[in-house]
Amino acid sequence: MTKTTVKIDIISDVVCPWCYLGQARLALALDRVKDVLTATIAWKPYQLEPNAPAEGLDTFDYLARKIGGPEAVKRGHQMLTQLGNEIGLPFAFEKARIFPNTLDAHRLIHWAAASGETVQNAVSKALFTANFVEGENVGDHAVLLDIAEKSGMDRGATAEKLASDIDVDTVKDEIAAAQRMGVSGVPCFVIDDQYVVTGAQSVEVFENAFRQLASMKT
């Protein structure tokens, strides 16, 4: 059987828990449909809080102001933890005390693409894990360099880039392009530059969409 190949752009922010959940559900769905469809993945930037200072914000204070108080934050975290448990995806919200500016994390993801899809996937997923499981500050250059090195990137070259302004405008332009396209929240999954799936949809929704797409293309 001839398999359909699609290109998927994942527009996300590394401090978005729904993005973390959504990409995991997407991966599970792609595994389910591997008999009829394969995908190439590219990660695209978005910033939930572009004005966050370099040192970051207190996560709980920031979220409480953003979504309606401490109890709303607790309920949201409980729901996300439960949804994560359903697919074996860990959350450790109590460790994620710093809500960073993610511009440099997105620069790292952008550079990772030059080393191929596998490396960019590894960097993106490591950033989610660092933030949501290990409680690392993914705005910290030392954290970013460790992730880069463990994912197969050159630590020295990456350090030089992080110390400069290289690709700051590139990342900001990509975010602006997503916003012009109508993206106002993440995650957003763009398939073959024409089909858009918004939000952390269930594995079943992704699977059904891919099977329908595969049948349309064969």
Q: Rounded CA gap, 18 and 157, in Å?
A: 32
DSSP state of 43: E
pTM: 0.96
Q: Are 174 and 103 in contact (CB under 8 A)?
A: no
DSSP state of 140: S
Q: Rounded CA gap, 157 and 194, in Å?
A: 36
Domains and CATH numbers, the chain: 4-217 (3.40.30.10)
| 187-196 pLDDT per residue, tens | 999 999 999 9
pLDDT for 51 beyond 90? yes
The residue among 174, 104, 191, 88 whose CA lies nearest residue 139 is: 104
User: Quick one: pLDDT at residue 1?
Assistant: 60
Q: Are 164 and 48 in contact (CB under 8 A)?
A: no
Arithmetic mean of pLDDT over the chain: 96
